[in-house]
Amino acid sequence: MKILSGLIIGAIFGFMLHRGGLVRYSRIIGALLLRDFKAMNFMFTGLAVAAILYGLSDLIGLGIVPRINGYFGIGHIIGGILFGIGMGSAGLCPGTCAARFSSGKLLIGVGIVGIFVGVFMYDLLFPVVSALGGEPKFITLSMFFDIPYGYLAIIFGILFLAVSFFLSIIDPSKKFDNVEEEKNLLQREWGWLPTGAVAGVLIFISTAIGEYLSFAGGFLALGAHLSSIFGYSFQSVPSLNESTLWRAMLAIGVFPGAFLSSYLAGTISQEKVTPLFQEAFSSNIGLRGFTVFISGALMTFGALIGGGCTTGAFMSGWPTLSIGSFVMGGTFFLVAMIMANIMFIGRYRLVREVKERFRLNLAND
C-alpha cells in the first residue's frame, strides 16, 4: 500500500504541475526574469503550507518529523550552479520536464533522456562528488536562533504566503490570463493558490508516511531499480528497498498525472518549439532539443550533488528550515535568474509581446 502511495502522490503532484501552468516555458522563464510570478507563487505556497503543517504538527506533538538535508558547503555551490545553468537555459526542472513531456510536448523527451544521463553521471562519479564539502552538518534556522521549530516554521510559512499574495497583486502577467476565462474548470489553467496548497499537503503527507518528496531523488531511485533488472548496481544507491521503490514510483507517477490533466483540459499538443523560444532564439528543433537535453543532464547531476531540486531542496527542503536547503535553493535560483537574464538581454519585451500575440496557454506554450 505504501508503494502505491508513491505513485498516487506523484500523479497528483504531476496533475498540479500541469494544471498550475508550471509546464509552460513562458511561466518559468518569466519567473526567472521577474516578469511572471505565478510559478514562483505556486512554489512559495507549497513550501508555506508544508511549513505551517510541520509547525502545527510539532506544537501539538504528532511526531511527524521532516527529514533535514545536511549542509556540506561547496557541494551546494557546485550543485546549485550546475542546476541553475540548466534551469535558466531550458526553463524546466526535473519534475516539470516529466510533466511537460506527458502533456504531448514530445520534444521534451530528450530532456527525460538527459535526466537519466545526469543520474548515471552522478553514480559513476559518486566516490568523488559525495565527498564534496566533507561530512554533512545537520543545521536548521531553529537550532541557529535557538527558537522552537514549530513556532518558527509557522511564522516562516505565513511570511511566504504573504509574499505570494503581494506578488500576485503586482504580477505584470496577470492581464494575459484572461484568455482562459471562457473555459470551464476542467479546461482552464488553475490558480497558484489551490495548486500550490495541494503540493504543500502532498509534501507533508510524504513526510507523514516516512518519505521525502523530491523528483531528482526519485529519478535516481528509478534509475537504480531499472538498472538492477539488467544486473547493474548503483554505488550511490547501495540497497534497494521499500523506500527507494516509493521514490521511484513517485517519479513515475508524474507522467500519468500530468497526462490526465492535459487530456481533461484538451491541451495535448505536439508543439515542437514553444513560441517564446522561437521568437527569442530559433525555431530550430535541434537547437531546442539540444538545450533541453544538456539542461536535463546538468540539472539532475547538480541536484544530486547539491542536495535536491526545486521540489527536494526548495519546496520540501525550505519548510524544514535546513541551512543546507537554503544554500542549495538560493544558489540555483540565483544562477538560474542570471542565466535567463543573460539569454534574454535585449529581448525582455518578447515575454510580454509573445504572450499577447500568441495568446499563450497550456496547449501552445
One-letter amino acid of 156: F
pLDDT for 134:
84
* Contact in structure between 315 and 50 (CB atoms under 8 Å): yes
Look up residue 35 and give its DSSP letter: S
**By mean pLDDT, which of 178-187, 224-233, 311-320 is the weakest?**
178-187
Average pLDDT, the chain: 95
Mean pLDDT of 15-28: 96
pLDDT for 182:
74
Distance separating alpha carbons of residues 31 and 339, to the nearest angstrom: 12
pLDDT for 342:
97
pLDDT for 270:
67
Q: Where are the beta strands (DSSP E) in the chain?
A: none
**Per-residue 3-state assignment (H helix, E strand, C coil) for 201-252:** HHHHHHHHCCCCCCHHHHHHHHHHHHHHHCCCCCCCCCCCCHHHHHHHHHHH
Mean pLDDT of 197-217: 97
Residues contacting residue 61 through CB under 8 Å, at least 6 positions apart: none
pLDDT at 67 over 70: yes
* Phi, psi (rounded to 5 degrees) for 87: -65, -45
For residue 96, the surrounding DSSP H or E stretch is helix 94-102
pTM above 0.75, yes or no: yes
pLDDT for 1:
75
More confident residue, 77 or 178: 77
* Contact in structure between 52 and 264 (CB atoms under 8 Å): no
Mean pLDDT of 283-303: 97
pLDDT at 181 over 70: no
pLDDT for 179:
67
pLDDT at 273 over 70: yes
Mean pLDDT of 93-115: 95
Distance separating alpha carbons of residues 155 and 323, to the nearest angstrom: 17
Query: Quick one: which of 197, 165, 173 has its CA closest to 31?
Result: 173
C-alpha cell at 352: 510580454
* Phi, psi (rounded to 5 degrees) for 140: -125, 165
Mean pLDDT of 3-20: 97
Query: Quick one: which of 355, 338, 358, 329 has its CA closest to 93?
Result: 329
* Contact in structure between 314 and 308 (CB atoms under 8 Å): yes
pLDDT for 65:
81
Chain centroid offset of residue 3 CA: 22
